[in-house]
Structure 1
Amino acid sequence: MLRDGMSLPAPPPRDDRPVRRQREKGMILEKTTIGSAPHAYLTRTTAHRMWLVSACLVPPVLQSAAGDGWRSLSVALAAVVAALLSEAVLDVGTERRSVADGSAAATALVLALLLPNLINPAAAALGAIFAIVVVKRSFGGLGSNWLNPAVAGWLFIRASWPAAFSAALSRSPLNELGVAVSKGLSDPNGSPLAILKVAGFKASGIDTLVSRSLNDGILSWMGAELPGGYVDLFMSADPGIIADRGALALLLATIILLAHRSMRSAVPGVFLFVLAALVRFGGALPYGGSFGGGDVLFSFLTGGTILGAFLLIADPATGPKSERSVVAIAAVTAAIAYGLRYRGAEQYAAPLAAGVVNAFVPYVRMVESRYLYSRWRHS
């Protein structure tokens, strides 16, 4: 029994040094995550980012639709409706509400931008269903799929209806350029626009007016000159994929997405830099030019290059985790895209290269996880 004014002595402090030592040595592994999540460096929610991407991709569709009797809009709407319905059906009976995160809408819009504006909307809908059901959801959903769903849907359409896909692009500038080169047309400077001019493609009145204004104004002070035809690439009225027809709006969309940090900014930078160097060095050869005369701007504004650089290759959900791997993947993708387009006659090389590299990303992630785990254990 304690006397008045006396109390029990305080228990000795708990010695948790062995536990700390075990934790430092990697012996306690509960709730330990190796590697970083795709969007770990961003502060906004996934749903916010996906709906932002979707909102930014609507203007390119509208720009294309304004010049083709709204055919582009029907293609995009068919893809979006099919993707959202597929996602909603797969959510039935589960606690998931994947439709609300916006990933299905973003996937469908990216797919639509990859498609010809004259393709049957039913093909776009079937491609969107394949992208969501087979590629996205069957592998676990957002962030778990081994291939970008939009690229997968695009490849599915090309493989399933090759004749319809080619027919929709038969009068596109890129197709006419390929036909002209196959017939022996060439240009001493290796300019694809010069070959297109000989093949019958003439610059529009807007192109002529804007080019003359720039050449008489700011470009004359710099000692430079903008040839005719480049302005039309920003506002193409010819058949082609929707991304190329809405190039001006797509460029503005990428600026907004970069400002909101909705993508890894280093990826498009590395990809475009490597591609520009390769095109400048050897891009004129297929058109009759010499080394060092490749048309970089034409390469960027055609063939889905901008879309591939900023929305396919830079997609964090289907890319590597570490910064070194991200830079390496971007450079390799650029090299593959150059080879496919200038040595393999593939007009839409950037999206195809993104799909090829995507297929190997799971193996890159596996190597990354083992490397990071090894470093973590020995740190």
Structure 2
Amino acid sequence: MESDLFEQDHEDYREVAREFVRREVEPNLERWEEQRLVDRDVWAAAGKQGLLGLQVPEEYGGPGVDDFRFRVAACTEIVAVGAASLQSGFATNDDIVLGYLLGMATEEQKARWLPGFVTGETIGAIAMTEPGAGSDLRGIRTSARRDGDEWVIDGSKTFITNGILADLVVVVAQTDPEAGSRGFTLFVVETGTEGFRRGRKLDKVGLAAQDTAELFFDGVRVPDTQRLGEVGTGLQSLMANLPRERLGIAMSAQTTAEAILEWTLEHVTAREAFGKPLSALQTVSHTVAELRMKVEVSRAYFDRCVRELNAGTLTAVDAAKAKWWATEMQWQVVDAGVQLHGGYGYMNEYAVARAFRDARVQRIYGGSNEVMKEIVARDLTRAR
């Protein structure tokens, strides 16, 4: 897909990502799907190629590059081979967990945790969702009570991306039930901490290779030095990080839709029916023309949002629009792509079939698209 978003440095970085995908990802995709887990080794390999932790400052082992276009370049190559599960894991680290550590961690905490995000040795997770609290984070019941210089965490989380492999988990806990939105605080729980255990690896409709788990905290004690940010600022911190998180979901949706369109075009031009290529049939050619238009229009808005994120001006409302629009567009493209592949589109050996399963959750996580509509609607009525 043509875009003026990238400069030469981004194109060079994309070549590095393409080679990484060719060498480390494509040969292992089927095995990862079958074992329902991405090999941990691929994280270290990505770290060696400089594909992780770009925002980490030089003093903590990273390049200190805060330019989201590099993330877009790498994502484009990863999803081009249908590796949505891997992309989801990387995005959780770089576009979500890392943001909290960079923005809220003390110098000691940064020195302790950030280097591993660059090398791929540290995999992170964010534990927000609970069995009774999804998009409405104020419904969180996991609690943390102060006990001297420690905090005692009790509760459970579900649908946690990277939950099985995670070395550290940023946990959202209620610290003051009477304080409303000021009653939540973030803590970092490391693997091996007594009372912290992982439940089952959840069996999902799609993203089979992406580890998603239940997490349990039974009297987990963490020192106050593992509190992230000030007491009572948890929800405010979550809100502050949402623009990048939601743009990350839009990025995955946009680049995946572009890949699906390419696979579909290849199929309809190569596949023959009634003695001529499928693309010669007007109903097919008009369908792919419409898909191309939707993808290109979406790309224009996405590129604008990327530039605004880099400039520090992307609003939560515009990020919600991008997430909503791109994921809806992705679903339209993949649904049409399966249809135009015919019976082959329903076969698991075809990337478009896997993309169909993987795409469905995009309209749910990061805040359901119904919530995105509410955010946009409230902004409109406030403006009146």
Instruction: Tell me the TM-score range normalised by the shorter chain.
Output: under 0.3
TM-score, with length taken from structure 1? 0.23
Task: Return the structure number with greater helix share.
Answer: 1
Which structure is larger by alpha-carbon Rg, 1 or 2? 1
Task: Return the structure number with greater strand share.
Answer: 2
